[in-house]
A and B are shown apart, each in its own frame.
Chain A
């Protein structure tokens, strides 16, 4: 038997808890009768206290009863009666490491499978589009090309310039030890034309545009626009992915070329500071890299652009529901874009080596 009188609210809650719940928990009564006839007011905290008393008694199969419920409290008390609080409050058990590991592996394999499926779907659509060029959404493609390409020129050039400058600057020291500073143009130009140019461009593209593609398409998925497209009989791959991927295919070679050119200019700044003439520098660069190197660099840029744009769109379409979903897709777009770019770079490097390019 327990009597509650006066106001049972958040102000008196802690004291009331101490005096009712704690003794009750130490020594669970078989039957608890709570007299609330003198209770003037009971707020959410107070109702919580009554719930806790009921839970404690019920968990040892005791009987809990309220007595003297006033008319004005009847409905509120009735609708605050928990049926199975223990089940509702049970937190899901943490899964073991084996399970986590297995789930992770399954996710990775599933993801690889989805990427392969997506590549197939994209290629099939591209082939279909080649036969039906009028179905290409040219306006979308040009707008994307402007946003992903023209608007990125500044940052691509700046980073190219800085990378050239830094490479030349960093190689100047070690090469001075052996007295072969004139080798700087050769080293830097081979590095930027064959590797750094396409790679830096792809990374910028992943950060600027891959993420934007994922966010745009992801938001469309969350707001059911993708479903609306499907019910209109329009394939999201054809409608959304193809214009973006084609736009990226057009702009990345150009951006890569800008990036390479600016790197070579950047490296010259260091050479000029070391006292070498422009004509010497140009001669060295022309001797080091030929048209083949340049084409291989641009080709890499093209492939990277395809990867970054494609994965951006795929991550967007994979967006799950919930408020953090678009953010997750964006992150995944950038991370997978960069990882796959570098994997592709390694594969292409080996390929070019055996093809003697």
Chain B
């Protein structure tokens, strides 16, 4: 997908960010903007800190260095009402779903509405149910999360993340554990919401088909170098990234094949054909 010039107003700015767990630096020197209305992917190999970046942006952890600005406001410095105001712009779907187990699926999606709006019970019910319909879970509304399959739980979590129509939706590995068809449906859902409601999506994933389908831009992190190694549209990175590792990542090559130029082109072609 080509980058849309209208998607250029930064809504999240990450400046000189570093993350550390117990004194051990896991990521450093991250500086990038996420623009209003784009689908922004945080990608990279396993254990490179994708989810770590996400959890810092949504304010669960404080960065070891640097600042994270949401609409110009520093989320780490914000307190009380200011902080709530920032969080109100976010919708987050966690990797494991994180649905509240003692509530039905419908009640899970209703909860943010109950807390933040003045709508009546009937109004919240129909809004929440419509959200569930969007993730194809209308029939599961009255069930408890434990009665759902993993993929259904994940979709319910996405419905809950979107229940207040937040400006920015964060999805942590939304397609992990989903079958290819459900996962493709999810991609279409993201695109639809992105286009018709102008929601910004920040998605942590390493599923290449999904990245090529939905991403405006991809931030690529590398575990070895503990920092970002690329930030651009996925097609550009696949075809012309100066970094061999990044090209390898987007061409889905095994480690041994990185040096063979002819092999690389062949794979690039076949990948391009499929997507």
Q: 7 A-B Cβ contacts within 8 A?
A: A17-B123, A48-B130, A82-B129, A83-B133, A92-B142, A321-B146, A323-B101
A residues 230-286 near B (Cβ < 8 Å) are: none
Contact of B196 among A72, A89, A90 (CB under 8 A): A72
A92 to B106, CA, bound (A): 13
A residues 27-50 near B (Cβ < 8 Å) are: 41-45, 47-50
| Chain B residue with the shortest CB-CB distance to A77 | B196
Q: Mark A52-93, 1 if CB is under 8 A from B, else 0.
A: 100100000000000000001101100111111100111110
Knowing A79-B189, A79-B192, A321-B146, the reply to whether A89 touches B129 (Cβ < 8 A) is: yes
Q: Which residues of B contact A42 (CB under 8 A)?
A: 196
A32 to B163, CA, bound (A): 27
> Is A10 close to B, CB under 8 A?
yes
B residues 108-124 near A (Cβ < 8 Å) are: 117-119, 122-123
A268 to B119, CA, bound (A): 68
Knowing A14-B119, A80-B130, A322-B146, the reply to whether A89 touches B192 (Cβ < 8 A) is: no
> Is B139 close to A, CB under 8 A?
yes
B residues 244-262 near A (Cβ < 8 Å) are: none
Contact of A324 among B101, B126, B127 (CB under 8 A): B101
> Is A13 close to B, CB under 8 A?
yes
A-B residue pairs, 10 tightest by C-beta: A48-B127, A323-B101, A322-B146, A43-B165, A76-B196, A88-B141, A51-B130, A52-B126, A48-B126, A44-B165
Q: Is the CB of B192 within 8 A of A91?
A: no
Q: Is the CB of A76 within 8 A of B129?
A: no
Q: Is the CB of A88 within 8 A of B138?
A: yes
Contact of A322 among B101, B126, B141, B164 (CB under 8 A): B101
A residues 1-42 near B (Cβ < 8 Å) are: 9-10, 13-14, 17, 41-42
Max count, chain A CB within 10 A of own CB: residue among B130, B138, B139, B196: B130
Q: Is the CB of B146 within 8 A of A80?
A: no
Q: Mark B30-69, 1 if CB is under 8 A from A, else 0.
A: 0000000000000000000000000000000000000000
Residues in B lying within 8 Å of A, measured CB to CB: 100-102, 106, 117-119, 122-123, 125-134, 138-139, 141-142, 144-146, 162-165, 188-189, 192-193, 195-197
11 A-B pairs besides A51-B130, A82-B129, A85-B138 with CB distance below 8 A are: A44-B162, A44-B163, A45-B119, A52-B126, A73-B196, A82-B130, A84-B138, A89-B106, A89-B126, A90-B142, A91-B142
Knowing A44-B131, A88-B129, the reply to whether A13 touches B119 (Cβ < 8 A) is: yes
Q: Is the CB of B142 within 8 A of A88?
A: yes
Q: Is the CB of B131 within 8 A of A75?
A: no
Q: Which residues of A contact B102 (CB under 8 A)?
A: 323-324
Q: Which residues of A contact B165 (CB under 8 A)?
A: 9-10, 43-45
| Chain B residue with the shortest CB-CB distance to A81 | B133
Q: Which residues of A contact B117 (CB under 8 A)?
A: 10, 45
Q: Is the CB of A51 within 8 A of B129?
A: yes
A17 to B124, CA, bound (A): 12
| Chain B residue with the shortest CB-CB distance to A83 | B138
Q: Which residues of B contact A85 (CB under 8 A)?
A: 126, 129, 138
Max count, chain B CB within 10 A of own CB: residue among A48, A49, A92: A48
A42 to B151, CA, bound (A): 27
Q: How close is A197's CB to chain B, nearest CB, in angstroms? A: 40
A139 to B78, CA, bound (A): 51
| Chain B residue with the shortest CB-CB distance to A17 | B123
Q: How close is B221's CB to chain A, nearest CB, in angstroms? A: 29
Q: Which residues of A contact B164 (CB under 8 A)?
A: 10, 44
Q: Which residues of B contact A83 (CB under 8 A)?
A: 133, 138
Q: Which residues of A contact B134 (CB under 8 A)?
A: 47, 76, 79-80
Q: Which residues of A contact B188 (CB under 8 A)?
A: 75
Knowing A43-B165, A44-B163, A45-B165, the reply to whether A79 touches B133 (Cβ < 8 A) is: yes
Q: Which residues of A contact B195 (CB under 8 A)?
A: 72
Q: How close is B258's CB to chain A, nearest CB, in angstroms? A: 37
A49 to B130, CA, bound (A): 9
A90 to B104, CA, bound (A): 12
Contact of A44 among B106, B122, B127 (CB under 8 A): B127
Q: How close is A322's CB to chain B, nearest CB, in angstroms? A: 4
Q: Is the CB of B141 within 8 A of A89?
A: yes
